[in-house]
Structure formats: C-alpha cells, structure tokens
Amino acid sequence: MEEIMENMQPVPEEEVHYSPLRYAWGAVLAFFGVSSRTHRASKKRAKLVGDVFTYIVLLFGAFIMVYPFWWMLAGSFAYTGRGAGSETVLHSLIWWPSVSTLDIPESEAEVSFFENYIILFTEGLKGDYFASNYDYFRAVLNNLFYSIVPVVVGVITSASAAFSFAKIEWIGRNKVFFFLLAAIMVPGPSIMTTQYAMYSAMGMMNSGTAWMPLVIPGLFGSIMTAFFIRQFLFGLPTSIIEAAKIDGAGYFRIFCGFILPLAMPAIMAQGLLSFMGCWNNYMASYIFISSNSEWINLPHAMQMMANRERFTSNVAPTIAASVVCVLPVLILFACFQKLIIGSLMLTGSKE
C-alpha cells in the first residue's frame, strides 16, 4: 500500500537547477506528450499525440495497401494501342495515365472510354492458342461455375460433417475427426502430380470433362471448413436438438431446420472465404486444365492473355483483365467485410 502511495506522489521539487536549454527542451517534450525531469506531460496530451501518431502511421500503411489497386484501375484506362513503345505510358503512370482513353483526339481512332475492356471482351483470347470464336466472357462464366457450385455444395457437406462431429454422439466420433484433421498435414503440391494422374485415369481430363478436376473434389467439402463450423456449433445449446428430437424430428430435419439456419453466420463466412479462394485459384486450373482448353478459369485466362504476343506492347487490355479478375472479390469483400473479418478474428482467438 505504502509503495503505491509513494508512486502516486508527484515528482518531488528538487533543488537541482536545469540549464535554460534543458528546461526549454523539457517544455517542448511535454508539449508532445512526453514527460521528462523538468516537465510532466498531462495524460490527455499524451493520448492526443499518440492518437495523431497512430493515425499517421495507419494512414500511411493503408495508402501502401490500397495504392496498387488504384494503380491497376487507372492503368486499365491507359491508352497503349499506338504500337511498339506505347507501353511506356504505363511505366510512367503514377496517379492517372498521361495518355488515357479519355483524351485521345478523335482523329486518331474511335476510342471509347472503356476501350481496353472492349478489346478484352471482344478479342482477348481469340486466335493464337484459342478458337477464333473464343470469348473472354466464357472464362468469367467458367470462374463463376468453379467458385459457386463446389463452394455451395462443399460448405453444406462440411456443415453436415461438422454437425455430426459436434452434436451427434456416436462411437469413434473423435477418432474419425482427428483422422480427417490429419489430412491438412499433407501438403498440396506433394500429391498434385499424383492427383493429375488419378484424374486423368478417371477420365476427368478429356476436353469435354476438363471442368471436373476443379469441381468434383470440392463437392465433398473440406476439413478446415468443417473444423471451423464445428467450433461454432459447440457454442450452440444442445437443448434445441434434444427438444426437436423429442418432438419427433429426425436428424435430417434437425440439420435442415435448425442447424443450417442457426449456424448461418459461420457457414456464410466460411463459404465466402472459400469462394474467394476458388475465384483466385490459378494453380488448379494451370495444372489440371490444358492452357488451350475452353474450360480455363479467370486467373489462368488472364495469365494466358499476358503471354500473348499481340498484348506485349498494348498492355492496357491485360491490366483491364486483372481488374476484371480482382474487382468481383473486392466488391464481395466490401459487402461482407464485417462477417469475414469477424470470422477471421474468431479463428485468431480460438486458433
């Protein structure tokens, strides 16, 4: 007790005289919220200075995080269609391209504001490796298919497994769960060559069935999704299920009528996260789908386009392609950021 009292007392007035310079320095420090031997800064001042400093640091960081996306957007409106050497427009781009699709003189060409997007969707992947009637929009549709079908079905199968692991008592439940959980120890690249051979043996690699390797495995759900939904289900009271059981509801009805609606936040968050993972899944498409197939997904299509000779100097349409690749997930993330960040925070606190 005495010790605390001692600490709370003000700095004793000592008989030491500081030089005026030291005294002034102390005043300056105190103004910026730092206590020293001559002056004691007020708590309010310290907090204010700390807040200002924090804002400066955070704003600077946020700028670095967001700037490349602004650059991407601005770059997609650059005009690089003037032949060799015109890609330097993009090199010098900082805020807005020096030659944008806005300010092309009418005499040069009929260039609309969305010129690069028009080029992308009309002739993005025509010719070269692809059929002359291949439409870039097809890759967008492919990507939607690859990231909606396996995710929706997969999240439901994962949720059903999670329900079984969290709320139904059956023999060997935990053993099966840990057996499944051990699968995350197997690194993906180690088995991908074998999966390639396996899928091709199962007839999933023919030109008509090239979509299968990106869809079929996803339909069975993923153990990590099941793990997080199970974590969430542990927080739900078991009495609901008991009550429903006594009222005569079967497990299937309990799952559809109670578990799915009640666990919706967790299911949605996991579904959104895996949607974004599937949307950006360049690897699977690159490995399992041959590059001239019409079934390639969007990142793969963008990469194919970047490799094309006719877009080496006219780079801006490829930038437009990268905007098309990024923008949908960004919009989705902006809409559901509360849910997604909340779910990630929960992951962090529970591990």
Among 141, 197, 234, 310, indicate the residue that binds other proteins (CB under 8 A).
Answer: 197
Residue 332, phi then psi, degrees to nearest 5: -60, -45
Token couple for 271: 């579904």
Taking the CB of residue 131, how many other CB atoms lie within 10 A of it? 11
In whole angstroms, how close is the CB of 202 to other proteins at the nearest point?
Answer: 8
Would you count residue 84 as binding other proteins (CB under 8 A)?
no
Nearer to other proteins, 20 or 208 (CB): 208
In the region spanning residues 250 to 309, those forming contacts with other proteins, defined by CB under 8 A, are 250-252, 255, 258, 262, 265, 276, 279-280, 282-283, 286-287, 291, 298-299, 302-303, 306
Q: Considering the complex, what minimum distance in angstroms separates the CB of residue 207 from other proteins?
A: 14
C-alpha closest to that of 115 among 91, 89, 80, 73: 80
Nearer to other proteins, 109 or 184 (CB): 184
Q: Binding to other proteins (CB under 8 A): which residues in 57-76? A: 57-58, 61-62, 64-66, 68-69, 71-72, 75
Of 106 and 269, nearer to other proteins (C-beta) is 269
SS3 (DSSP) at 100: strand
Residues 74, 96: Cα–Cα separation, whole Å: 6
**Interaction mask 108-147, other proteins, x per CB under 8 A:** ----------------------------------------
347, 334 Cβ separation under 8 angstroms: no
Residue written as token pair 């579904």: 271
Choice between 134 and 288, CB closer to other proteins: 288
The dihedral of CA 330, 333, 334, 337: what is its sign?
Answer: negative
221: phi then psi, degrees, rounded to nearest 5: 85, 170
CB 100 within 8 A of CB 80: no
- State in angstroms the smallest separation of the CB of 167 from other proteins: 9
The end-to-end CA distance of the chain, in Å, is 40
User: With binding defined as CB under 8 A, does residue 41 bind other proteins?
Assistant: no
Q: Which of 147, 160, 274, 314 binds other proteins (CB under 8 A)?
A: 160
Closer residue to other proteins (CB): 109 or 335: 335
